[in-house]
Amino acid sequence: MTEPPATVAPLALPPDLVASLVLLRHAQSVWLAEGRFQGQADTPLSALGQRQAELAGVRLADPWAPPRLPVPPGDPVVIVHSPLARTVQTAAAVAAAIVARGRPAPPLVPEPGFREIGQGAWEGLLQRDVEAGWPEEIAGWRRDPVRTFAPGGESLVEVDRRVRAALSGVIDRLARASWTAGTAADASAVAGSPAPATPSFYDPHAGPWTLLVGHDGAFKVALLALLGLPLDRFWTFTQATTGIAVLDIRNGRAVLRAWNRTEHLAPLEIEAGEAARRAEDEAAARSRGGAL
C-alpha cells in the first residue's frame, strides 16, 4: 500500500519558549519479548519490562544523579503518555518513583496522538510469519516507509498528522507552565528576592519540562517533526526499551541534547552476568562430580 510523501515542515515552536521535552519509550511488553508485531494492540509489560519500568522511574525521579541527565531541576509538569497498556504502566512507574521520594506525582495525561503506528494485518504475528506472508510489503516498509506500510495499517503521513497535533498540545501546555513560572519569578523579585537569570540557548538546565511516554515508531515521527527532518528519514532513530531522550526548546527550535540513555538498566545487565556465571560454575561442579 502506498501514499505520496507529505511536505516536510518543522513543527512550529514558540520563539520565546525555554523548556525541555523528555521522551521515554515504554518498557518491554509481553509481545515484544515474543518477537511479535505490536502496533496498537494493547499488550502489558513482561516481568522484565516491569523491572525496566521501575528502574526508569528511579532514574527520572532523580535525573541529576550521576551520570546526570540534561534536564531542568524539579519534576516534570506533566507526564503525557500513549493510552496503550505498556505505556500506561511505564508512566505509572515514573509517577510512583516520584511519590516514593515524598513529592507529589505529576498529572498523568493520556494522549491518543502518541499511540504506536497501527500495523494492521501484521499485529500479533511473529516477524518470520510477516516475512513469509508479505515479503514485498515488509521489504518495502524497511526500504521506503513513507510509501509502503502494513496492509490495513497506518501510513507515516497519517501518523505524522496526529503526532504533530499531539505535540502542539504538549508545547502549548509547556508554554503556559513557562509563563506561570515566569510570573512567579517576577512576583518573587518584587517581594525582594532576585529573579532567576535569563537562561541562555546553551543552558540545558532551565525552564519547565514535560515527560512523554510512548513508542519507538511514534517517537521516530515526533523527532522528525521536532527537528524538521523529512519522513523518509524514519529509520534514522531507534530507541531501546526505556531509552531516554532529551530535547531542549530554545529560540523557536528543538535541540537534541541526549539520545537513548539506558544506564539505568545496568543492574539488569549485572544480574544477567552474575546468573550466567553461576550457571557456568554449577555446570563445572556437576562435571567434576561425574553428574550428567
Q: Is 116 noted as a catalytic residue in this protein?
A: yes
> Which of 111, 116, 137, 154 is the catalytic position?
116
Q: Is 264 noted as a catalytic residue in this protein?
A: no
Strand partners, 214: 25
Give the predicted TM-score (pTM) of the model: 0.86
Quick one: pLDDT band at residue 201, thresholds 50, 70, 90? very low
Is it the case that residue 86 has pLDDT exceeding 70?
yes
Assign 110 to helix, strand or coil.
Answer: strand
Strands (E) located in the chain? 19-25, 79-81, 108-110, 209-214, 244-250, 253-261
The domain segmentation of the chain, as residue ranges, is 19-261, 263-292
Quick one: pLDDT band at residue 184, thresholds 50, 70, 90? very low
Q: Model confidence over 55-75: pLDDT tens digits? A: 999 999 999 999 999 999 899
> Which of 26, 81, 215, 264 is the catalytic position?
26
Q: Is CATH 3.90.1310.10 the right assignment for the domain spanning 19-261?
A: no
